[in-house]
Structure 1
Amino acid sequence: MTQTVPHDAALSAMFETLRAQSRKDGMVSWQTRADRLSRLRSLVRDHRGTIGAAISADFGQRSRHETELLEINHVLDGIHHSLQHGQRWMRTQDRKRSYKYWPGRASILPQPLGAVGVIVPWNYPLDLSLGPANSALTAGNRVMIKLSELTPHFGALLAELAARYFAQDELCIVNGGVDTGRAFCALPFDHLLFTGSTAVGHQVMHAASDNLTPVTLELGGKSPAIIGPRAGPAGDFDKAVMRLVMGKTLNAGQTCIAPDYAFVPRGQAARFIASARRAVAAFYPSLATTSDYTSIISDRHFQRLQAMVDDAVGRGAQASPLSDAASDPARRRFAPLVLSNVAPGSRVLEEEIFGPVLPLLEYDDLEQVIDYINQRPRPLALYLFESDRKKVERVLTATVSGGVTVNDVFFHVGPDTLPFGGVGASGMGAYHGETGFRTFSHDKPVFRQPAFSLLSWVYPPYGRRAERLLRMPD
């Protein structure tokens, strides 16, 4: 399947039309916003089967249930949340003011920014395109979305559906390769959201800076998981391992918040591996043939994973397969495995893995783990499996990460009442729910001055009254 790659001139024309309309909008009514959100919801609901099939075609094999669970339901939940609360979010908010400003009134007026750009990676193409679009539309903006060239089937489908449910100057889809992506980043959006690798995030931020375009960067990095001394809920070691393995094998580990590597108490590595093998056997009893296990997105990504494993093993690491099924390069099925005794400097300890390969690091004391994490770039997510409340609080307060789930994986990203975003090298800014509304709004401060103002007493010529007022405490 081929994609339509807009020429720079055509891309600029699409953008200018969208931005020109955004400038005419002013304060977009809730009725208009709700109508757009309802159409976005219908787009997903009416075509959920076709969407799942298109994404699976791009992966080679992508679990239909994973697409429903991790993308379709998450998008629909987010839209529902926006429809429930968006009208309240857009209300003018009164602010307190010092008596010196009496009897004037201070308030905040949330306004749409205008034209919003969204750059989407390949791993969750629906959620990471329409999730930000939901936030931007709730805030009253118009949206332009650039999809990954690695998801051509989904890209063509979403472009067709968007044209059916939206005017092109409301929400439009751009498909194309690297050159199109560069041209997209160079457009003077009022806000640009990028989800992807840290390396590409640098390029996006650099391109956006030429237009002083504010950016939200949702990046990745190496998210640690910690099996604590009293692992998991009620100290259930096997349950903790099972939940960690689920996070590492969903979408075959191709998730920005997947556990990238795991700490385990010294002497517990063999127990961890045995427990992980039982979990994989329970999840995927026929891993070689099941439709529940997702393929790696491309040959290049498959080969990269294999090269990382080979590098670690070449440096003395022990590879422990978690399934009797072997990896299948022809179908890009990479069988999950654990790497233990990994030498410092190995690629799996330096690069984001983005696949079902889990380096296992043993530790003697929880403070060692904290020091290790704090000496490295801030992770997008952190997972702690521990039933001792004091140890949980110690890790929560002593480490910095985009988000944390305790005794499970991924759940801090689910509720629309929680923001999603990174920190430091794992990103900047956040969205989801009200946080997403605020990200794509300008909170305009407004001061309304009545006929009489107390501050008129300090107009020149200055005298005793002005002296008293200026010396009065707040």
Structure 2
Amino acid sequence: MTKPADVAKRQVRTEKSADTLSLQALLELQRAAFLRDGIPDAQTRIDRINRLQSLLLNHAEELAEALNEDFGTRPRELSMAADVAGCMVDLAHQKKHLTSWMKTSTPGKWLARAGLRQELRHDPKGVIGIMGPWNFPLNLTIVPAGSAFAAGNRVLIRPSSVTAKTTAVLAKYAPRYFDLEELAVLTSAHGGGSDFAKLEVDHMFFTGSPEVGASVAAEAGKNLVPVSLELGGKNPVVVDADADIAKAATRIADARLVNGGQVCLCPDYVWVPEAKLGEFTDRVLARWRTNLPTIKDNPHYTSTINEKNFNRIVGLIDDAESLGATKHQVIPAGEKLPDAGTRKIPPTLLTGVKAGMKIEEDEVFGPVLTVYPYRELDEAITHITSHPHPLTMYWHGDRNDRFYQLADSTRSGSINGNDFALNMFGPDLPFGGIGRSGMGGYHGKTGFDTFSHTRAVAFSSMKVAVSEMMSAPFTPRDVKTTNFQLKFWSFLTKRSTKKNRRK
């Protein structure tokens, strides 16, 4: 039974900061409220998502400025598009459809005629823990929070400590929109992410690196807490033999530099037909030169998030070059790059990369693109399948037999054709990885389902009792019934086998 929103209670919100309570106290507060109030109705859920949207929209400028300060340089337009407006489509979709999604469904209609009524409830799990990353600290916490609200849950958000200024703004304003028993934004005052991972929430949702994701899953596993992991990986691109090289090079060059390359969906390496390798690399470099007449003081060029990642990316480039790779960098005249002060790394294209180089295995998460030549598509497929499954895969070319050969021979969280991150546009496709790139998914109904418990309900008005049929004593009638079932299913199986062989 669902319960309506308590409007009067919201009007007297205390605006109490989450920092006033411990992690465990916040969890207990939300769990007690969940049990006290029961399953929220659609109006309550929509109201919570509306407030979540208002939290971002009403403070968008301050949040964008905080993101710029956290990164060092991050374009306002990118922050608005990705971390504010970018949340709205899925949140609006949740509001539009949650009323139908939350309804009890009734499968097994033919069994109901025999007196066995079956139902599927879509119940909230309770308290959801959301651990966000630093690269899109708003989008990748607010969107799953919206799905959790749509499913009827309470939410604890633990943003990344790396983007501390953005977290501070979110934590400052969240109490104006939510009681702590509905949503709480946690800061470093509550300890590190490892402390949050130990909480006995009803579902833990993590976005970040595979290495940290493994530790989160291990901690959650100790408490048998279900986990969704949205991770990363080295996303491959395959350019078809008949593709428009100029168009492919332009779009791949642009995609590699989104957020300074610090996107889990950025292309990491490209396979190009051998005969077109030179043209492709020339066009990528030309695109970067045209778009970036300056870099060091360019407010449109996103900085690497911190010194640790700056040194790691520069180290990957240096290691590859020292082992024989060829480095092509776009450095505007008069600028000395990489620049540790601004944490700006020039767009870098590498050729001649081979096994044994660190960049062959490590996700770059920066403005570096590796390019490989191929003669036969199998060369690219062999390389891709010999590495962990990526979060996404890119194909540039027509939807032809070679595309299906690639799709059928590999595994990835998604496939995108001829442009960047198309699977993120529109709320109907699930977002998630496979294997090392993640488990579980969200966006649209997939997000609602992730944070819901599909609960089976069955009622009998049958004249026969299952309990009696399955307990001693077993009568001659029971033996006859059992033997009939075996013969019946044996007949159907043999008929299916013969029918399948004739196809």
TM range (shorter): over 0.9
User: What is the rounded CA distance, in whole Å, between the counterparts of 2:215 and 2:465 in structure 1?
Assistant: 51
Q: Tell me the equivalent position of 2:202.
A: 190
Residue 270 (structure 2) aligned to one of 251, 262, 270:
262
Backbone CA RMSD of aligned residues: 2.3
Q: Which has the larger radius of gyration?
A: 2
Are 1:58 and 2:66 an aligned pair?
no
Task: Measure how far apart 1:98 and its partner are.
Answer: 5.8
Residue 435 (structure 1) aligned to one of 419, 425, 446:
446
Are 1:322 and 2:330 an aligned pair?
yes
User: What is the rounded CA distance, in whole Å, between the counterparts of 1:362 and 1:168 in structure 2?
Assistant: 55
Are 1:418 and 2:429 an aligned pair?
yes
| SS of equivalent residue, structure 2 residue 229 | strand
Is the Cα–Cα contact under 8 Å of residues 63 and 293 in structure 1 kept in the other structure?
yes
Are 1:72 and 2:84 an aligned pair?
yes
| Identical amino acids, percent of aligned pairs | 34
Task: Measure how far apart 1:69 and its partner are.
Answer: 2.0
Are 1:406 and 2:417 an aligned pair?
yes
Q: Please give the residue correspondences for 1:214-363 in structure 2 after superposition, counting only pairs within 5 Å.
A: 214-231=226-243, 236-324=244-332, 326-363=337-374
User: What is the rounded CA distance, in whole Å, between the counterparts of 2:139 and 2:473 in structure 1?
Assistant: 62
What per-residue deviation string (whole Å, max 9, x for no partner) do you get for residues 154-191 of structure 1? 01000012111000111101111895211111110100
Q: Tell me the equivalent position of 1:383.
A: 394
Residue 375 (structure 2) aligned to one of 364, 367, 378:
364
Task: Measure how far apart 1:264 and its partner are.
Answer: 1.2
| SS of equivalent residue, structure 1 residue 140 | coil
**Cα–Cα, structure 1 residues 154 and 171, in superposed 2: closer, same or farther, change >3 Å?**
same
Task: Measure how far apart 1:203 and its partner are.
Answer: 0.8
| SS of equivalent residue, structure 2 residue 284 | helix
Q: Tell me the equivalent position of 1:129.
A: 141
User: What is the rounded CA distance, in whole Å, between the counterparts of 2:398 and 2:354 in structure 1?
Assistant: 30
Are 1:115 and 2:127 an aligned pair?
yes
User: What is the rounded CA distance, in whole Å, between the counterparts of 2:467 and 2:268 in structure 1?
Assistant: 62
Task: Measure how far apart 1:6 and its partner are.
Answer: 6.1
User: What is the rounded CA distance, in whole Å, between the counterparts of 1:303 and 1:139 in structure 2?
Assistant: 42
Is the Cα–Cα contact under 8 Å of residues 103 and 453 in structure 1 kept in the other structure?
no
Are 1:173 and 2:181 an aligned pair?
no
Taking structure 1 as the reference length, the TM-score comes to 0.93
Is the Cα–Cα contact under 8 Å of residues 213 and 229 in structure 2 kept in the other structure?
yes
- Flag structure 1 segments of 5+ consecutive residues without an equivalent: none
Report the AA paired with residue 388 of structure 2.
Answer: P
Is the Cα–Cα contact under 8 Å of residues 19 and 190 in structure 2 kept in the other structure?
no
User: What is the rounded CA distance, in whole Å, between the counterparts of 1:373 and 1:318 in structure 2?
Assistant: 22
Pick which of 461-470 and 86-95 moved more.
461-470
Task: Measure how far apart 1:283 and its partner are.
Answer: 3.2
Pick which of 269-278 and 251-260 moved more.
269-278
User: What is the rounded CA distance, in whole Å, between the counterparts of 2:207 and 2:468 in structure 1?
Assistant: 53
User: What is the rounded CA distance, in whole Å, between the counterparts of 1:327 and 1:74 in structure 2?
Assistant: 31
Report the AA paired with residue 422 of structure 1.
Answer: G
Report the AA paired with residue 402 of structure 1.
Answer: G
Q: Tell me the equivalent position of 2:158.
A: 146
Residue 396 (structure 1) aligned to one of 400, 407, 412:
407
Pick which of 103-112 and 455-464 moved more.
455-464
Is the Cα–Cα contact under 8 Å of residues 422 and 429 in structure 1 kept in the other structure?
yes
User: What is the rounded CA distance, in whole Å, between the counterparts of 1:456 and 1:147 in structure 2?
Assistant: 51
- Flag structure 2 segments of 5+ consecutive residues without an equivalent: 1-16, 490-503
Taking structure 2 as the reference length, the TM-score comes to 0.88
Pick which of 261-270 and 308-317 moved more.
261-270
User: What is the rounded CA distance, in whole Å, between the counterparts of 1:453 and 1:416 in structure 2?
Assistant: 46
What per-residue deviation string (whole Å, max 9, x for no partner) do you get for residues 439-469 of structure 1? 0000001112236458589487765765665
| SS of equivalent residue, structure 1 residue 94 | coil
What per-residue deviation string (whole Å, max 9, x for no partner) do you get for residues 195-222 of structure 1? 1111111111111111100100111111
Task: Measure how far apart 1:336 and its partner are.
Answer: 0.6
Is the Cα–Cα contact under 8 Å of residues 328 and 349 in structure 2 kept in the other structure?
yes
Report the AA paired with residue 327 of structure 1.
Answer: P
| SS of equivalent residue, structure 1 residue 445 | strand
